[in-house]
Amino acid sequence: MTLPGPGTRKLKGRNGKMAGQISHLDEVIGHLEMENQRAIDDFRRPSDAQNPEFTVYQVRQRLRLRFTGTGGEYFRIWIVNLFLTVLTLGIYSAWAKVRTRRYFYAHTLLADHAFDYRANPWFILRGNLILGFGLLLFLALESFRPVYSGIVLAVFYGFLPFLIYKSLRFNAYNSTYRNLRFRFRGSLKESYNTYLFIPLLIPLTLGLIFPYWVFRRKKYFFENFTFGRSPNTCTGSAGPFFQVYGITGLMVILLAVVAGGGVFFFVPQPHGLALRLDNMDRFFTLLPVAGFLVAMTAFTCIQQFLFARLTNYCWDRTSVEGLCFNSSLTVGNLLWLRLTNLLGIIFSLGLLIPWARVRRARYLVGSLTLFSDRSLDTFEAAEQSAEKAIGEAATGFFDIDIGL
C-alpha cells in the first residue's frame, strides 16, 4: 500500500529525460564492468581449508547471484521517494524504504528466481513515530534538563540490543525466496552479549578486544539468518579477525610515519625545502586541507580492505545443509567503485546517487556464488509469527551496522 502523492506524475515527466540519460550512462558503464565481472564468472571452488562443508558435500551445481537493476529505473523510484518524503515531512519514508527494498530484492536473481520483500509500510511508520517521539523527548530534556537526557540515552543504549534483535527478525520474516520466508533464530540473550556487554569491555582493554567484538557481530548474523527450516553453520573463528585488524594497525602506523615525515620535511629548517617556498602562509593554509584529503583517502582504503577481507571470510565459512558460499570481493574493485561513485555524486550534485547504489549492488551481488549438492526446491518453510517493525525503524534511523 502506498500513500497517494500530488504532483507525482508531473514530477516523473519532468525527470524522464534525466532518467533516460542516467539509464544510458548505466548501460555503458555496466558493459565496461562486464569485462571485470568475467573473472568472477570463472569457476573457482573454495578449498577445503576455507569451508569444511566441501569435505562433506559433493558439489552438483554452481549458482551465481545476479543483479539486473539499472540506474535509470531506480532513479524514478528514488526521485519520487525523495519528493514525497519531503512533502509529507518524513511520513512517506516508511513507504520509500519498502519500495526501495522491493526494487533491489526483485532484481536480485538466484537460479532465475527473484527475491521478494513483503514488509507492511504501516508497521514501519508506527515504529518511526515511536522512535521520533523518543528522539524529541531526548532533545527536549537535553535543552531544559541535561541530567535527564543522559538517563534517556542510557535507557536507549540498554534497549539497543533488543531493537537490533527485533530488526533482524523483522527483516528475515519479510524476506522471501520462492515463497519461502527467511528467519532469524538468534536469541535475545546473545544479542545483549554481543551489543551491550562486550562493547563495555572495549575501553577496559584499551581496544584490544575490538576485533573479537566484530567477530561476534558477524557470527551473530551469519550463523542465525536461515532459509526455511534449514539452519546455518558458520565455522569462522576470531583469529583471522585479529590478523586483519593487526595488518590494518600496521598500515595506520606506516601512514602516520610517512605523513609525519612529510610534514617535517616541509617545516622550515635551516637547509630545508621550506626556505625555498615563496609564500609560507599559503603553504600552512593548504596543509590542513591536504592532510584531510590524505586521511580520508587512507580511511577509505582501510575501510574497503576490512570489508572485503572480512566479508569474504564469513561467506566462505557459512553453509546451509548442502549449500555453501564463496565471496570474491577485491579491495581494488571496491576502491574503484567508491571513487567513481563519489565523483559522480559530487559532480551531479547528488543526482547520480541511484546510479551509484545500483553499481555497488551489482558488484556485491555478482561477487557471491553458491555451491549446492541439492535442489533449492527441497527447502521447507518454517512456522513463524509476524514481527513488529520498531527495531527496523531504530536501526535504519541510526544506520546501525548489524551484519554485513
What's the pLDDT band for 252 if we cut at 50, 70, 90?
A: confident
pTM of the prediction? 0.76
Contact 141, 362 (CB under 8 A): no
User: Residue 302 and residue 37: Cα distance in Å, rounded?
Assistant: 23
Average pLDDT, integer, range 193-211: 94
More confident residue, 320 or 39: 320
More confident residue, 393 or 263: 263
Query: Does residue 17 have a pLDDT over 80?
Result: no
Alpha helices in 66-224 (DSSP H): 71-87, 93-106, 121-144, 146-173, 188-192, 198-204, 210-222
* Dihedral sign, Cα of residue 384, residue 388, residue 389, residue 392: negative
Q: What is the pLDDT of residue 143?
A: 78
Contact 392, 166 (CB under 8 A): yes
What SS3 class is residue 373? coil
Query: Does residue 173 have a pLDDT over 80?
Result: yes
Query: Does residue 38 have a pLDDT over 60?
Result: no
Nine-digit cell string for 186: 538468534
Reported as a single tens digit per residue, the pLDDT across 107-165 is: 999 988 999 999 889 988 888 888 888 788 878 877 777 777 778 888 888 988 998 99
Query: Does residue 46 have a pLDDT over 80?
Result: no
Phi/psi at 5 (nearest 5 deg)? -125, 120
> What single letter denotes the amino acid at residue 185?
R
Nearest to 371 by CA among 298, 315, 304: 315
User: Residue 134 and residue 139: Cα distance in Å, rounded?
Assistant: 9
Q: What is the pLDDT of residue 151?
A: 83
Nearest to 359 by CA among 330, 331, 338: 338
User: Residue 350 and residue 92: Cα distance in Å, rounded?
Assistant: 20
Would you kindly state where each structural domain of the chain is located, as residue ranges?
Answer: 237-314
What's the pLDDT band for 30 if we cut at 50, 70, 90?
A: low
User: Residue 96 and residue 259: Cα distance in Å, rounded?
Assistant: 44
The DSSP code sequence of 330-360 is: -HHHHHHHHHHHHHHHHHTTTTTHHHHHHHH
Q: What is the pLDDT of residue 282?
A: 60
Q: What is the pLDDT of residue 127?
A: 81
Residue appearing with cell numbers 558503464: 29
What SS3 class is residue 186? coil
Query: Does residue 271 have a pLDDT over 80?
Result: no
Residue 105: which residues within 8 A CB-CB, separation 6 or more? Answer: 114, 115, 116, 117, 175
What's the pLDDT band for 309 if we cut at 50, 70, 90?
A: very high
Q: How far is CA 43 from CA 38, 40, 318, 368, in A?
A: 10, 8, 19, 12
Q: Round the CA-based radius of gyration of the chain to a whole number and report it.
A: 24
Q: Is 136 exposed, middle or buried (0-12, 13-18, 19+ CB in 10 A)?
A: exposed
Q: What is the pLDDT of residue 136?
A: 84
Q: What is the pLDDT of residue 196?
A: 93
Q: pLDDT over 90 for what percent of the chain? A: 41
Q: What is the pLDDT of residue 400?
A: 43
